[in-house]
Amino acid sequence: MGSNTLDALGRAILEAIESGRAVDGSLESDLDADGPAVADRLAQLVDNGLIREDAETGRGGGTTGYEVTENGLRLLDSRPVAPRANRVDTPATVDRTIADFDLRPDEDAAVRNAFWFLRFWGDATSAEIVDAAYSEEPAGYETADRWWDDCVRDRLAALPDVQVVVEESIEWYDRWTYDGTPVVERDDRDGRSIADPVDEPRFASARHAVETTPLDEDDRAYARAAFAALARRGRASTDELRAAVAHGRGKRSDATDTSADRLAVLESVPGIDLEEGSDGEPVWVYDPTVS
């Protein structure tokens, strides 16, 4: 009789089978696990009555497929840890590292969502990660600042294949990168015309808005820096954003650039509104709880 303990790899395999994404040879590459480990977990799942071989339907997609049993479905539903798609897309090495953090389930989900967003795009600023992931799983943190500082940032930095370059000129403008192949660059995906990883409105995140709006590379970089400055402050005038971008990018011309188009893309971002300030001038306001 196999062990009754379901580890991170075992659960990821169970979720892959349940979602119909398990095909011959794909589990090893998709979950970043070696063949013997996958075979061992498959045998364990069968022994524990969580999956069964199903050669006729081949629900696993292979020559000999698997399907999740009622017991397996009950286990998945009774022990939710994070959105299943995020977990299935999480490499096993990352999955194990997150499990070792020994977080509450909601904090676990917050870290996974942040990683999945980064893996999706391949690179992101701190502000973009907070924008996309905080509203999905606040994990009991009343502010995005505390969520980022106390729960997500250091753990995200500790994950395999994640790198960060600290940018001190603009808060939340740190540059995060994922060393693997971003989801947007896979052969079966269009890197620009895509559904956002958090997928409600037309533009479901600041990064999606910037990437899917026709901009040249310099204007795109300008908008990303402006969003970082606004996201950290929560409220800023146009002049304040221009000054912050000029300081952050080291371009004096950014501070005096009056082109409205360079900031216009921010109006498409969920959670951003233009309000009238006390002096009658427009003020940009950002609420990270809106997605």
Domains of the chain in sequence order: 8-79 (1.10.10.10), 94-185 (1.10.10), 206-286 (3.30.420)
Closest CA to 226 of 198, 261, 201: 261
Give tens-digit pLDDT for 33-50.
Answer: 788 888 888 888 898 888
pLDDT > 90: percent of the chain: 32
- Structure confidence at residue 187 as a pLDDT band (50, 70, 90): very low
Tokens of 104: 């509450």
**Residue 176 and residue 163: Cα distance in Å, rounded?**
6
Closest CA to 107 of 75, 154, 61: 154
Q: Kindly tell me the sign of the dihedral angle through the C-alpha atoms of 188, 194, 200, 205.
A: positive
Report pLDDT for 89: 60
Report pLDDT for 48: 85
Report pLDDT for 203: 47
Give tens-digit pLDDT for 263-272.
Answer: 888 988 889 9
Query: Best-predicted range by mean pLDDT among 123-132, 162-171, 181-190?
Result: 123-132
Indicate the DSSP class of residue 151.
I
Contact between residue 132 and residue 200 where contact means Cβ atoms under 8 Å apart: no
Report pLDDT for 23: 59
Which of 60-64, 169-173, 243-247 is least confident?
60-64
> CB under 8 Å to 82, separation ≥6 — which residues?
108, 109, 112, 113, 137
Report pLDDT for 235: 95
Q: Where are the alpha helices (DSSP H) in the chain?
A: 8-18, 26-30, 35-47, 70-78, 84-88, 92-100, 105-121, 126-133, 144-146, 153-157, 206-212, 217-233, 238-249, 253-256, 261-264
> CB under 8 Å to 31, separation ≥6 — which residues?
9, 12, 13, 16, 38, 91, 92, 95
- Structure confidence at residue 234 as a pLDDT band (50, 70, 90): very high
> CB under 8 Å to 38, separation ≥6 — which residues?
9, 13, 27, 28, 31
Query: Best-predicted range by mean pLDDT among 52-61, 228-237, 278-287?
Result: 228-237
Contact between residue 284 and residue 231 where contact means Cβ atoms under 8 Å apart: no
- Structure confidence at residue 195 as a pLDDT band (50, 70, 90): very low
**pLDDT reading at 224 higher than 90:** yes
Mean pLDDT calculated for residue range 73-85: 57
The size of the chain, in residues, is 291
Contact between residue 76 and residue 117 where contact means Cβ atoms under 8 Å apart: no
Three-state DSSP at 283 gives strand
**pLDDT reading at 24 higher than 60:** no
Which of 56-60, 139-143, 174-178, 285-289 is least confident?
56-60
Tokens of 146: 């505390």
**pLDDT reading at 137 higher than 90:** no
Tokens of 247: 């300081």
